[in-house]
């Protein structure tokens, strides 16, 4: 008997269940707003564990930063991974650039753009919102008016709002206005990075953030952030105490810039992100942008030809997360469940909106996945009494996949 251990008071071990009993026999095709399917190379990398310090990881980190710089279109070397979802990267940007006494203008068009305001409040910053609740983007004129009334230290916004499928059409122009008024800009590119153009240096972003599980087509749980050189100089001069130890960019740079210990890095996730970024670089951004554009436009054409209505007008519709209206009285949860039960295809619901969402990010933008998700959606709707022409939708999808689209 182990000394000092009272076996009579010991909590009994639980009845366990192997993961094989929990997971479906056939993996679901993830066609929602994230996470997205991953390639075999990313999957293999995610199954490897190496020392998070040493020559091998140093080489991985060096490559990853170079490839991430290409994705962000930046020459900045202040690029680092974050142990956590995209929201962790956002919080890292917020906590390093804001504190009590500093003022931030938050452009809120949905759940995720609004979340940045909550984080700013959490570090004690003064927060003002420009808010739209009508699923429309905030435009440059609205931002210009806000700066005429008050001075702001930071502006936050999303390039695409995942929760409702709205694209910030004036993204680059808004960055310009903010910079001309002395504000730094934090840009959420979680669902847009590598699915559409994003030019960090050319547009003047100070902090750009993205998660692994969406546009980059890697695994959830490791995200990536890039700070501009100007933002980094500002962070280095900070005199106010940093409230977050893990999210302290200067501490994080010990690992990501100097290969020194900060905390134990999420090794499999970093290796997976390395492979996802490698595949992006091998494909090249122009080819990847075109693949995403053709794929999403073809899917949208098929959805409309089938008889469903897209939620967002084309002029500010986000192509990487397509929001779809369902007819009145149709339960979106039942539609989604039928898609899973009949076809092992999963799409997303929404946050308080009567819509469903189909992702068009990374590996989702493959022809075989498009045909499967469109057929599953149409058939599930018909099963629940929605009169759709599924065959017509499939035909339009096929036709549009064969027609090249010139990007704007």
Written as one string, the DSSP assignment of 348-396 is B--SSSSEEEEE-SGGG-SHHHHHHHHHHHHHHHHHTT----HHHHHHH
pLDDT over 70 at 407, yes or no: no
pLDDT band at 133 (very low <50, low <70, confident <90, very high): confident
* The pLDDT value given to residue 26: 85
121-130, pLDDT tens digit by residue?
Answer: 999 999 999 9
Beta strand 160-161 with 166-167 is: antiparallel
Q: What are phi and psi of 188, to 5 degrees?
A: -90, 115
Q: Is residue 16 part of a domain?
A: no
> Domain check: are 194 and 248 in the same one?
yes
DSSP state of 314: G
How is 217-266 classified by DSSP, letter by letter? ---TTEEEEEE-HHHHHHHHT--SPPS-STT-HHHHHHHHHH---SS---
Encoding tokens for residue 239? 């005199």
CA 197/CA 293 separation, integer angstroms: 11
- Does 4 score more than 70 pLDDT? no
Question: Quick one: 308 and 277 in the same domain?
Answer: no
Domain edge (last residue) among 250, 283, 316:
283
pLDDT for the residue numbered 134: 87
Element (H, E) at 126: strand 126-131
Question: Is the bond into 35 cis (omega within 30 degrees of 0)?
Answer: yes
Question: How many CA atoms are closer than 13 Å to the CA of 316, on its beta-carbon side?
Answer: 18
Distance in angstroms (rounded) separating the CA atoms of residues 259 and 54? 8
CA distances from 291 to 7, 46, 210 (A): 62, 25, 20
User: CA–CA separation, 203 vs 201, rounded Å?
Assistant: 5
The verdict on 181 and 303 lying in the same domain is no
Identify whether 191 is part of a domain: yes
Residue labelled with tokens 């492979």? 275
Q: How far is residue 340's CA from residue 346's CA, in Å, rounded to a whole number?
A: 6
Are 340 and 383 members of one domain? yes
Whether residue 322 is contained in a domain is answered as yes
Residue 254 lies in a domain: yes
Written as six digits, the tokens of 155 are: 């502006």
Q: How confident is the model at residue 2 (pLDDT cuts 50, 70, 90)?
A: low
Dihedral of CA atoms 355, 173, 115, 155 in degrees, nearest 10, equals -170
- What Å distances lie between residue 75 and 65, 199, 204, CA to CA? 10, 11, 12
β-strands 309-310, 184-188 pairing: unpaired
Mean pLDDT of the residues in the chain: 94
- pLDDT (mean) for 136-164: 97
> Quick one: pLDDT at residue 1?
57
CATH number at residue 166: 3.40.640.10
pLDDT score at 101 = 96
- Greatest CA separation found in the chain? 76
The answer on 174 and 88 residing in a single domain is yes
359-376 mean pLDDT: 97
Q: Is 40 a residue whose pLDDT tops 60?
A: yes
- The residues, ordered by sequence, that sit 6+ positions from 117 with a Cβ below 8 Å of its Cβ are 104, 106, 108, 127, 129, 156
Query: Does 4 reside within a domain?
Result: no
Residue ending a domain, choose from 262, 283, 304: 283
Contact status, residue 33 vs residue 357, Cβ threshold 8 Å: yes
At CA 55, angle to CA 53 and CA 56, rounded to 5?
85
Q: What is the pLDDT of residues 319-363, one digit of tens each?
A: 999 999 999 999 999 999 999 999 999 999 988 788 999 999 999
Give pLDDT, residue 5. 66
What's residue 405's pLDDT? 63
Q: Are residues 328 and 221 in the same domain?
A: no
Mean pLDDT of the region 79-91? 95
- Whether 243 maps to a domain, the answer reads yes
**Whether residues 168 and 120 fall in one domain:** yes
> Measured between alpha carbons, how far is 247 from 262 in angstroms, rounded to an integer?
11
Please count the other Cβ atoms lying within 10 Å of the Cβ belonging to residue 107.
28
Query: Are residues 288 and 277 part of one domain?
Result: no
pTM: 0.94
Across 69-97, average pLDDT: 96
155-204 pLDDT per residue, tens: 999 999 999 999 999 999 999 999 999 999 999 999 999 999 999 999 99
Q: Are residues 230 and 375 in the same domain?
A: no
What integer pLDDT is reported at residue 313 of this predicted model? 96
User: What element of type H or E holds 87?
Assistant: helix 86-97
Query: Does residue 235 have a pLDDT over 70?
Result: yes
User: Do 151 and 290 fall within a single domain?
Assistant: no
- Could you say which of 257, 283, 309 is where a domain stops? 283
279 and 306 in a single domain? The answer is no
Within this chain, do residues 142 and 216 fall inside the same structural domain, yes or no?
Answer: yes
Domain that holds residue 260: 40-283
How many independent structural domains does the chain possess?
2
Q: Rounded distance, CA 349 to CA 33, Å?
A: 9
CA dihedral of residues 188, 189, 190, 195 (deg, nearest 10): 170
CA distance 322 to 166: 9
Q: What is the pLDDT of residue 10?
A: 82
Confidence of residue 147 (pLDDT cuts 50, 70, 90): very high
Output phi, psi for 3, to 5 deg.
Answer: -65, 135
Token code pair at residue 175: 């960055």
Within-domain flag for 18: no
CA distances from 262 to 182, 212, 245, 247 (A): 32, 21, 10, 11
Reply yes or no on whether the pLDDT at 12 is more than 90.
no
In a domain, 376, yes or no: yes
């Amino acid at each position: 008997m182990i000394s000092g251990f009272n076996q009579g008071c010991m909590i009994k071990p639980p009845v366990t269940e192997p993961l094989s009993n929990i997971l479906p026999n056939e993996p679901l095709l993830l066609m929602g707003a994230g996470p997205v399917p991953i390639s075999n190379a990313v999957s293999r990398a995610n199954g490897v564990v190496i020392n998070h310090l040493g020559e091998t990881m140093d080489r991985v980190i060096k490559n990853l930063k170079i490839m991430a710089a290409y994705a962000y279109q930046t020459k900045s070397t202040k690029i680092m991974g974050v142990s956590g979802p995209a929201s962790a990267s956002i919080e890292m940007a917020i906590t390093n650039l804001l504190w009590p006494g500093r003022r931030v203008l938050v452009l809120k068009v949905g759940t995720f753009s609004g979340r940045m305001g909550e984080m700013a409040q959490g570090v004690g910053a003064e927060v003002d919102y420009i808010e739209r609740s009508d699923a429309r983007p905030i435009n440059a004129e609205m931002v210009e008016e806000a700066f005429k009334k008050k001075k702001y230290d930071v502006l936050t916004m999303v390039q695409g709002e995942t929760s409702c499928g709205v694209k910030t059409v004036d993204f680059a122009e808004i960055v310009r206005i903010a910079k001309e008024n002395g504000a730094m800009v934090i840009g959420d590119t979680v669902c847009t990075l590598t699915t559409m153009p994003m030019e960090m240096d050319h547009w003047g972003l100070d902090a750009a953030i993205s998660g692994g599980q969406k546009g980059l087509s890697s695994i959830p749980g490791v995200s990536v952030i890039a700070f501009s050189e100007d933002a980094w100089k500002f962070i280095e001069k900070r005199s106010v105490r940093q409230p977050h130890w893990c999210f302290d960019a200067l501490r994080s740079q010990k690992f990501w810039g100097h290969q020194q210990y900060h905390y134990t890095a999420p090794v499999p996730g970093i290796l997976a992100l390395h492979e996802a970024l490698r595949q992006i670089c091998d494909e090249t951004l122009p080819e990847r942008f075109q693949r995403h554009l053709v794929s999403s436009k073809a899917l949208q054409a098929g959805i409309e030809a089938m008889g469903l209505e897209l939620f967002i007008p084309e002029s500010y519709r986000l192509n990487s997360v397509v929001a779809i209206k369902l007819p009145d009285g149709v339960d979106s949860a039942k539609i989604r469940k039928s898609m899973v039960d009949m076809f092992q295809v999963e799409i997303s619901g929404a946050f308080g909106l009567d819509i469903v969402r189909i992702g068009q990010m990374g590996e989702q933008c493959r022809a075989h996945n498009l045909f499967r998700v469109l057929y599953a959606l149409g058939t599930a709707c018909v099963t629940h009494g929605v009169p759709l022409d599924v065959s017509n939708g499939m035909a339009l999808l096929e036709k549009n996949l064969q027609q090249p689209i010139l990007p704007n």
